[in-house]
Amino acid sequence: MTTKIDITLSETKKEKPNVDQLEFGRVFTDHMFVMDYSATKGWYDPRIVPYGPISLSPSTMAFHYGQTVFEGLKAYRTKDDKVLLFRPNKNIERLNLSNDRLCIPQIDEELVIEALKQLVSIDKEWIPTAEGTSLYIRPFIIPTEYYLGVAPSKHYRFMIILSPVGSYYKEGIHPVKIFVENEYVRAVAGGTGTAKTGGNYASSLKAQDEAEKRGYSQVLWLDGLEKKYVEEVGSMNVFFKINGEVVTPALNGSILEGVTRNSIIHLLKHWGVPVSERRLSMEDLYKAYKEGQLEEAFGTGTAAVISPIGELFYNEERMVINNGETGDISMKLYDTLTGIQTGALEDIFNWVVNV
């Protein structure tokens, strides 16, 4: 049985941003999806309403202990005006995995897909079509019980908001510079590193801030125990092309399982490019660099898509990769992935869902 989503349309329409000046996550569309949870009713009252502020008591648990989860996915408008979502089921599956880790009740995946489709379709005119732009979709859940005890909340709110975006990094498809973090850590196995929860991002800010002051866009996290093995970058998974083989750190209980990461591994395998998911030490990466075998590096993520890495700062040394330029594999992956996402290329893996 499909649950009915109640719809209240906004009486006014906001002005759409100029696509040339689109930043990531600054502007929001006219509507949002909202649904509440209580222990007695389960998830109830799914509704699409005008986008706007919500009112919460200062004692709402959301403000205190960080029991929150979120997702990020994108919608695209094709040349013939169809609206496409990219692998939304993977995001919703992951949302439920994050829910499980944060003691938040599971959510009906079919209902969320339906909510995404209806919301995106109502705000379809907001989907930008210029190269490198898309409509970023942010589903998230906050605990809404009024209580200061440390316990799973008995009430939650699930919301989906939409934001027309340009590239996440100001560099776009041009290489970013990344600082290899050797003081702070992001996550350890058994912690919340594999969940998409606010705390992981809050704890990354200090290192990020220090890296930015030194002229780097983001940090590359090493494992939380030995600070020896490569894990991920602040908002992306990472890949390295070493002597013809593309290597990405194996999922180990503290790395986020990116939907883009998974898609890139599929594409590389499909092309017959050797690709392996394995433990990779920073020492081995540095050795490969010194021996001239580190051919390319790039990050992958929904927000960042494919972001070539032109430089790693490691142990007070600048490791300049591929002369600081975008490599062939990064470019081909970017073109193919965005081609499939925007409907310009054949969707050979059945990844795209029509709204």
- Binding residues (CB under 6 A) for ligand COI: these are 72, 201, 235, 301-303
Rounded CA separation 57/61 (Å): 9
Size of the chain in residues: 355
Question: Is 119 or 303 the residue whose CB approaches ligand COI more closely?
Answer: 303
Q: Are 304 and 275 in contact (CB under 8 A)?
A: no
Question: Is 151 or 205 the residue whose CB approaches ligand COI more closely?
Answer: 205
Question: Is 187 or 303 the residue whose CB approaches ligand COI more closely?
Answer: 303
**Angle CA(319)–CA(322)–CA(327) in degrees, nearest 5?**
135
We find the least distance from the C-beta atom of residue 211 to ligand COI, in angstroms, to be 16
**286 token code pair:** 């540095």
We find the least distance from the C-beta atom of residue 91 to ligand COI, in angstroms, to be 9
**175 token code pair:** 């290489």
Rounded CA separation 350/77 (Å): 17
We find the least distance from the C-beta atom of residue 172 to ligand COI, in angstroms, to be 15
Q: How far is CA 55 from the centre of its chain?
A: 27
Beta-bridge partner residues of 299: 238, 307
We find the least distance from the C-beta atom of residue 325 to ligand COI, in angstroms, to be 24
Question: Is 147 or 201 the residue whose CB approaches ligand COI more closely?
Answer: 201
Question: Is 186 or 242 the residue whose CB approaches ligand COI more closely?
Answer: 186
Question: Is 107 or 303 the residue whose CB approaches ligand COI more closely?
Answer: 303
Could you identify the residue written with the tokens 């027309």? 164
We find the least distance from the C-beta atom of residue 290 to ligand COI, in angstroms, to be 32
**125 token code pair:** 């005119």
Q: Beta strands 218-222 and 176-180: pairing type?
A: parallel
We find the least distance from the C-beta atom of residue 303 to ligand COI, in angstroms, to be 3
Question: Is 137 or 222 the residue whose CB approaches ligand COI more closely?
Answer: 137
We find the least distance from the C-beta atom of residue 213 to ligand COI, in angstroms, to be 20
Question: Is 31 or 196 the residue whose CB approaches ligand COI more closely?
Answer: 196
Rounded CA separation 49/60 (Å): 22
Closest alpha carbon to 123 in 45, 10, 6, 20: 10
- Report the residue number whose CB is nearest to ligand COI: 72
The count of C-alpha atoms lying within 13 angstroms of the C-alpha of 328, restricted to the half-sphere facing its C-beta, is: 4
We find the least distance from the C-beta atom of residue 255 to ligand COI, in angstroms, to be 14
Rounded CA separation 234/298 (Å): 13
Closest alpha carbon to 172 in 310, 313, 336, 266: 310
We find the least distance from the C-beta atom of residue 103 to ligand COI, in angstroms, to be 21
- Residues contacting residue 347 through CB under 8 Å, at least 6 positions apart: 340
Question: Is 168 or 240 the residue whose CB approaches ligand COI more closely?
Answer: 168
Beta-bridge partner residues of 306: 300
Q: 233: part of which helix (H) or strand (E)? A: strand 230-233
